[in-house]
């Protein structure tokens, strides 16, 4: 009851805002940096088949935090009407209580979107939007950095910001290459923690490939016989493997920190704990495949540098 | 259902040390204890990290008072043994013992072979408590104890208390009304839990992991948390095991024999709930133990609760220690969820026992 009332109010407010935006949006967006992407209609290849957009979308709903970050990074932020409850970056994203885990087609449709971007579809979101003839673009979790660049490219085409998207991808490539060039002389081992029951990510996952850019070796690889990419490690094994670095991607979800790791039974003597090699990551940055992967790599590289006197 | 060695009119008496033919009780218990020692030894010697067995034995013996042996284990290996592997074996044994004992006790007081420790809303209550702690709990990283086990414990107890308070029909609490009110309470609590999970979808994964059960991060802290409740409830249920035999003939008959059926049920359910809540608090919801172990014991050693309760205690410990051994070694160095192991190995094993024994309890 309260939620539907809230949605109604939001809808009214957004309708007004959008009416305002639409006017100056048409003025400022149309002559966007000269690029061929601003020509519509465009046809996009999606996991669900071809998707044709007749005109430049002006009311995008993003149900994926990564897509939200990408949209704002390529200058399409003004066209975004609503983002899901987990899209907490950037600050100016119009966050709503839309749930990406339990998507409600009616609630999404309430924002009158002309494009919906999502990554997972647990509740027939795409089918529902299809019935309402609302274009839906799926951008599933990237498996490689190339997937990230491809998604940026696709969002650029879909929103009429291909030039900015191409430029962003080029900048990211250059930055990542620069960071990778400074990789340490000797191979460091690491453990990437997803939660405190010791779920980890191997080097074949997206995040693992980022660490591999720095030539690091992942202790979780030995535990991934079924190839899921996300094995649960046994504590004995982590202690025995004694990684040089421990990266905590569970600081927000599970309140883990260098001090809670040091206090775990049997972990106090680990090299990483004794030498300050426990790195507290931002869960969000470490779990998204958008433009901030560069920030993530910088954090990791900065830590690696402090541990590797010979590397510079 | 047969009742053996029933002693009408002596229900207030504390059990004697040797009721019935002594050999009948001593032998199976001795076998079970030997099995427990063997399982514990194997579980301590085998793990995802290979420790030299001789050195492990020397290290263990070296801790005995008056013994001075240098085991040759490195500091790291000693930490793995003492801080990771040993507490996990001990906790697995305790949790298995509590769940199997509580299951046997529940089957007794409710005269229902399908009763398990989670029957009266303990699982639903613990699940709700854990979910609330995960979703809304404050940051407890600086607290001496985690909020999660306390919330799960409180939830389990609250669930059973609610079922018990509701389960009264016509002034009396019969087994049937209690079970039905347990069903109602469980459904209600599960509804709330599902709602909270919907609201806080980012907690789904942690809640799910908790529901599957885990001993992965077991330490001495968890052992210390369980031991007091385990002691109290074990003593209480062991003292009542003879009365469970009397109760097996039915409430009316038991009453005519001078037994206050409602009161016995209250005490036993209370003790079994403490045991279950303590186990659930540290290990999540591990299924099957509370059903498989007591029934297997029944098929092997008979249906008298005087034998069933102590043998279920030991059998539960053996079963869970071995299940956890599988969980941490089969995919090593990865872990399997222990709830999957108990069901995967427990169910077929139980079917096998049922077929070979050809005696339906």
Is the minimum CB–CB distance between A236 and chain B shorter than 8 Å? yes
> In this predicted structure, what is the pLDDT of residue A282?
92
Who among B83, B87, B334 is closest to A232 (CB)? B334
pLDDT digits (tens, 9 = 90+) for B33-82: 999 999 999 999 998 888 888 888 888 888 887 777 777 788 888 888 88
> In this predicted structure, what is the pLDDT of residue B142?
60
Chain B positions touching A265 (Cβ under 8 A) are 83-84, 87, 219-221
Is the minimum CB–CB distance between B87 and chain A shorter than 8 Å? yes
> In this predicted structure, what is the pLDDT of residue B140?
59
Q: Rounded CA gap, A187 and A300, in Å?
A: 14
Q: Rounded CA gap, A194 and B215, in Å?
A: 18
**Pairing between β-strand A189-193 and β-strand A80-83 as defined by DSSP bridges:** unpaired
Q: Rounded CA gap, B164 and B270, in Å?
A: 10
Average pLDDT, rounded, for chain A: 84
Q: Rounded CA gap, B117 and B128, in Å?
A: 16
Residue of A nearest to B140 (CA): A255
Is the minimum CB–CB distance between B49 and chain A shorter than 8 Å? yes
Is the minimum CB–CB distance between A2 and chain B shorter than 8 Å? no
As beta bridge partners, residue A192 has A247
How close is the nearest chain A Cα to the Cα of B90, in Å? Answer: 15
Is the minimum CB–CB distance between A44 and chain B shorter than 8 Å? no
State the DSSP H helix or E strand holding residue B229, giving kind and residue range, or none if neither.
helix B220-247
Whether B272 and B237 have beta carbons less than 8 Å apart is answered as yes
Contact B331 A223 (CB under 8 A): yes
CA distances from A197 to A194, A285, B24, B283 (A): 8, 20, 44, 12
Contact A232 B335 (CB under 8 A): yes
> In this predicted structure, what is the pLDDT of residue A5?
43
Question: What is the CA B314 to chain-centroid distance, rounded?
Answer: 11
Whether B159 and B166 have beta carbons less than 8 Å apart is answered as no
Nearby residues of B283 by Cβ (< 8 Å), 6 or more positions away: B91, B95, B213, B214, B215, B218, B338
pLDDT at B360 over 80: no
Place of tokens 């990778």: A180
Q: Rounded CA gap, A76 and A92, in Å?
A: 12
Q: Residue B5's pLDDT band (boundaries 50, 70, 90)?
A: very low
pLDDT at A273 over 80: yes
Contact A253 B217 (CB under 8 A): no
pLDDT at A173 over 70: yes
Q: Residue B173's pLDDT band (boundaries 50, 70, 90)?
A: low
**Pairing between β-strand A189-193 and β-strand A217-218 as defined by DSSP bridges:** parallel
Chain B positions touching A239 (Cβ under 8 A) are 49, 76, 79-80, 84
pLDDT mean over B202-226: 81
Nearby residues of A106 by Cβ (< 8 Å), 6 or more positions away: none
Q: Which residue has the higher pLDDT, B64 or A309?
A: B64
Is the minimum CB–CB distance between B76 and chain A shorter than 8 Å? yes
Contact A101 B205 (CB under 8 A): no
Query: Chain A neighbours among B 292-351 (CB < 8 Å)?
Result: 328, 331-335
Q: Residue B358's pLDDT band (boundaries 50, 70, 90)?
A: low
pLDDT at B10 over 60: no
Is the minimum CB–CB distance between A186 and chain B shorter than 8 Å? no
Chain B positions touching A99 (Cβ under 8 A) are 198, 201
Nearby residues of B332 by Cβ (< 8 Å), 6 or more positions away: A223, A234, A237, B47, B48
> In this predicted structure, what is the pLDDT of residue A184?
78
Who among A234, A259, A265 is closest to B328 (CB)? A234
Query: Chain B neighbours among A 86-115 (CB < 8 Å)?
Result: 86, 99-102
pLDDT mean over B145-169: 83
> In this predicted structure, what is the pLDDT of residue B357?
63
Chain A positions touching B219 (Cβ under 8 A) are 264-265
pLDDT at A107 over 50: yes
pLDDT digits (tens, 9 = 90+) for A240-272: 999 999 999 988 877 889 998 998 888 999 999
Residue of B nearest to A268 (CA): B79
**Three-state SS at A247:** strand
Q: Which two tokens stand for residue B237?
A: 């249920």
Q: Rounded CA gap, A130 and A41, in Å?
A: 18
pLDDT digits (tens, 9 = 90+) for B285-334: 888 888 889 988 988 888 888 889 999 999 999 999 999 999 989 888 88
pLDDT mean over A157-169: 93
Q: What are phi and psi of A301, to 5 degrees?
A: -65, -40
pLDDT at B143 over 90: no
pLDDT at B24 over 80: no
Residue of A nearest to B332 (CA): A223
> In this predicted structure, what is the pLDDT of residue B121?
85
> In this predicted structure, what is the pLDDT of residue B122?
86
Q: Which residue has the higher pLDDT, A12 or B92?
A: B92
**Three-state SS at A283:** helix
Q: Which residue has the higher pLDDT, A304 or B209?
A: A304
Q: What is the ipTM of this complex?
A: 0.76
Place of tokens 């613990």: B126
CA distances from A57 to A53, A77, A172 (A): 8, 11, 26
- The Cβ of residue A206 has, within 10 Å, a number of other Cβ atoms equal to 19
pLDDT mean over A136-164: 93
The string over B16-34, giving b where at least 16 C-beta atoms fall within 10 Å of a residue's C-beta and e elsewhere, is: eeeeeeeebbeebbeebee
Contact A255 B141 (CB under 8 A): yes
Who among A102, A197, A254 is closest to B198 (CB)? A102
Q: Which two tokens stand for residue B311?
A: 């043998």
> In this predicted structure, what is the pLDDT of residue A13?
44
Q: Rounded CA gap, B274 and B280, in Å?
A: 10
**Three-state SS at B254:** helix
In a mutational test of the A interface, the residue from B333, B336, B337, B338 whose CB has the highest number of chain A CBs within 10 Å is B333
Who among A100, A196, A266 is closest to B80 (CB)? A266
A/B interface, count of CB pairs below 8 Å: 99
Q: Residue B233's pLDDT band (boundaries 50, 70, 90)?
A: very high
Residue of A nearest to B219 (CA): A265
Is the minimum CB–CB distance between A227 and chain B shorter than 8 Å? no
Who among B202, B219, B334 is closest to A265 (CB)? B219
Q: Residue B340's pLDDT band (boundaries 50, 70, 90)?
A: confident
> In this predicted structure, what is the pLDDT of residue A61?
94
């Amino acid at each position: 009851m309260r939620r539907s009332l809230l949605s109604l109010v939001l809808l009214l407010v957004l309708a007004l805002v959008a009416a305002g935006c639409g006017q100056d949006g048409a003025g400022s967006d149309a002559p966007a940096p000269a690029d061929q992407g601003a020509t519509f209609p465009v046809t996009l290849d999606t996991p669900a088949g071809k998707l044709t957009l007749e005109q430049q979308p002006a009311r995008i709903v993003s149900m994926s935090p990564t897509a939200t970050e990408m949209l704002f990074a390529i200058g399409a932020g003004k066209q975004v009407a609503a983002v899901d409850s987990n899209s907490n970056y950037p600050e100016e994203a119009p966050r709503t209580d839309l749930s990406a885990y339990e998507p409600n087609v009616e609630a999404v449709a309430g924002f009158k979107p002309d494009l919906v971007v999502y990554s997972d579809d647990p509740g027939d979101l795409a089918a529902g939007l299809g019935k309402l003839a609302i274009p839906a673009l799926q951008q599933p979790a990237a498996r490689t950095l190339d997937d990230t660049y491809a998604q940026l490219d696709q969002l650029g085409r879909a929103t009429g910001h291909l030039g900015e998207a191409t430029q962003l991808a080029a900048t990211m490539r250059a930055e990542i290459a620069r960071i990778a060039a400074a990789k340490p002389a000797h191979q460091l081992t690491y453990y990437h923690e997803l939660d405190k029951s010791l779920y980890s990510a191997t080097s074949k996952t997206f995040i693992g490939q980022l660490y591999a850019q720095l030539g690091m070796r992942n202790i979780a690889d030995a535990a991934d016989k079924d190839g899921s990419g996300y094995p649960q490690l046994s504590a004995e094994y982590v202690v025995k493997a004694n990684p040089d670095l421990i990266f905590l991607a569970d600081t927000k979800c599970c309140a883990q920190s260098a001090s809670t790791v040091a206090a775990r039974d049997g972990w106090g003597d680990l090299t990483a704990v004794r030498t300050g090699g426990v790195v507290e990551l931002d869960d969000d940055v470490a779990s998204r495949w958008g433009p901030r992967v560069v920030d993530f790599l910088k954090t990791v590289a900065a830590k690696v540098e402090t541990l590797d006197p010979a590397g510079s | 259902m047969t009742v053996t060695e029933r002693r009408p009119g002596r229900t207030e008496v504390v059990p004697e040390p040797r009721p019935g033919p002594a050999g009948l009780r001593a032998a199976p218990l001795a076998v079970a204890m030997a099995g427990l020692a063997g399982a514990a030894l194997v579980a301590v010697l085998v793990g995802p990290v290979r420790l030299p067995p001789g050195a492990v034995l020397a290290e263990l013996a070296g801790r005995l008072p008056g013994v001075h042996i240098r085991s040759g284990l490195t500091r790291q290996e000693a930490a793995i043994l003492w801080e990771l592997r040993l507490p996990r074996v001990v906790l697995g044994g305790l949790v298995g013992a509590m769940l199997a004992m509580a299951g046997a006790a529940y089957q007794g007081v409710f005269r229902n072979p399908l009763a398990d420790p989670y029957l009266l809303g303990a699982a639903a209550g613990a699940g709700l408590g854990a979910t609330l702690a995960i979703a809304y709990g404050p940051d407890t990283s600086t607290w001496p104890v985690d909020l999660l086990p306390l919330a799960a414990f409180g939830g389990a107890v609250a669930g059973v208390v609610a079922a018990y308070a509701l389960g009264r029909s016509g002034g009396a609490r019969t087994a049937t009304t209690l079970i039905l009110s347990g069903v109602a309470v469980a459904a209600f609590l599960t509804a709330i839990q599902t709602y909270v999970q919907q609201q806080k979808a980012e907690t789904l994964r942690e809640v799910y992991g908790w529901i599957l059960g885990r001993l992965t991060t077991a330490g001495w802290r968890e052992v210390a948390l369980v031991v007091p409740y385990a002691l109290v409830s074990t003593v209480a249920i062991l003292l009542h095991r003879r009365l469970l035999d009397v109760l097996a003939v039915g409430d009316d008959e038991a009453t005519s024999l001078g037994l206050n059926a409602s009161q016995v049920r209250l005490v036993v359910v209370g003790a079994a709930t403490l045991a279950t809540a303590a186990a659930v608090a540290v290990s999540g919801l591990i299924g099957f133990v509370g059903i498989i172990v007591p029934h297997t014991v029944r098929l092997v050693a008979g249906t008298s609760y005087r034998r069933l309760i102590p043998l279920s205690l030991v059998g539960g410990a053996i079963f869970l220690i071995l299940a956890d051994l599988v969980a941490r070694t089969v995919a090593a160095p990865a872990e399997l969820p222990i709830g999957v192991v108990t069901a995967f190995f427990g169910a077929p094993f139980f079917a096998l026992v049922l077929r070979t024994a050809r005696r339906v309890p």
